[in-house]
């Protein structure tokens, strides 16, 4: 039975590996390679993940992982961006583990966490053209609210994100 729990130090390598593999599987062809490398180097190197393991509520609630038979198969994290406003900051699964409910388990955990801190709505950003994420969010009640440049992208990079919201 898969179960979701807070990440610990021993999960750092798994989280870095999952994010690197999921980035390659998800964004190749829809985001510039330089942008992908920058994001991976900024957020998903072991040093940074280790630093971010400890929750710092309300702006960072810490990595959660989904584990099955002793293997970490996916990770997600949430935050509160303003009083009453939750955000799914990231969610990534091992590419071979998609489509069997693990993403929903992680999303449920993040939703629970932000709700406990008083959130009544939840937001997420998904890269334009990410056909793995958009149908997932729409299946879980999010609707598109607008579009903005992808986090950390430069004017030269044609990288855009959709902002989605749902009430919780
Ligand atoms: C997005 C992601 C976390 C979803 O997790 P998942 O475990 O595959 O999703 P689930 O199995 O829980 O699916 C939940 C619902 O979304 C739907 N869904 C999920 N992916 C879908 C897809 N690619 N196409 C159509 N529907 C999809 C499922 O059919 C299911 O709907 P249902 O409850 O009506 O049957 C996972 O696909 C992933 O890691 N993608 C790559 C990384 C990524 O894009 N992350 C998000 C960055 S913004």
Q: Pick the closest to residue 147 from 100, 134, 15, 139 (CA basis).
A: 134
pTM listed for this prediction: 0.97
- Cβ count within 10 A of residue 139: 10
Residue with tokens 């959709």: 162
DSSP state at residue 7: -
Question: Is the pLDDT assigned to residue 115 strictly greater than 90?
Answer: yes
Residue nearest to atom 40 of ligand 1 (CA): 132
> Sheet of 143-149: strands edge to edge?
3-6, 64-68, 71-82, 85-93, 121-127, 160-167, 143-149
pLDDT at 15: 98
Question: What SS3 state is found at 11?
Answer: helix
pLDDT at 158: 84
Q: Are 84 and 124 in contact (CB under 8 A)?
A: no
Instruction: CATH number of the domain at 145, please.
Output: 3.40.630.30
Q: Are 18 and 10 in contact (CB under 8 A)?
A: no
Q: Are 118 and 141 in contact (CB under 8 A)?
A: no
Tens-digit pLDDT profile for residues 70-92: 999 999 999 999 999 999 999 99
Mean pLDDT, residues 123-144: 97
- If one residue of 77, 99, 141, 144 were mutated to test the ligand 1 pocket, choosing by the most ligand atoms within 8 A of its CB, it would be 99
Residue with tokens 């990440």: 7
User: Among 30-34, 95-99, 118-122, 134-138, where is mean pLDDT lowest?
Assistant: 30-34
Number of domains in the chain: 1
Domain range for 69: 3-167
Outline where 28-132 has alpha helix (H). 33-43, 46-51, 102-116
CA distance 138 to 158: 24
Residue nearest to atom 10 of ligand 1 (CA): 101
* Residue 60 Cα to ligand 1 middle (Å): 23
Tens-digit pLDDT profile for residues 21-57: 999 999 998 999 999 999 999 999 999 999 999 999 9
pLDDT at 79: 98
CA distance 16 to 78: 17
Q: Kindly report whether the peptide bond that precedes residue 158 is cis, defined as omega within 30 degrees of 0.
A: no
Residue nearest to atom 3 of ligand 1 (CA): 103
């Amino acid at each position: 039975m898969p179960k979701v729990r807070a990440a610990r130090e021993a999960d750092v390598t798994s989280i870095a590996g999952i994010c690197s593999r999921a980035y390659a599987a998800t964004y190749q062809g829809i985001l510039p390679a330089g942008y992908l490398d920058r994001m991976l180097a900024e957020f998903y190197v072991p040093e940074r993940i280790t630093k971010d393991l400890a929750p710092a509520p309300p702006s960072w609630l810490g990595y959660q992982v989904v584990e099955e038979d002793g293997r970490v198969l996916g990770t997600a994290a949430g935050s509160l961006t303003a009083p009453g406003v939750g955000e799914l900051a990231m969610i990534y699964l091992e590419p071979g583990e998609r489509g069997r409910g693990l993403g929903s388990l992680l999303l449920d955990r993040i939703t629970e966490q932000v709700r406990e801190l008083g959130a009544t709505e939840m937001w997420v950003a998904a890269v334009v053209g990410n056909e793995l994420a958009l149908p997932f969010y729409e299946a879980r009640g999010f609707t598109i609210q607008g579009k903005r440049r992808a986090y950390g992208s430069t004017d030269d990079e044609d990288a855009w994100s959709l902002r989605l919201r749902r009430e919780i």
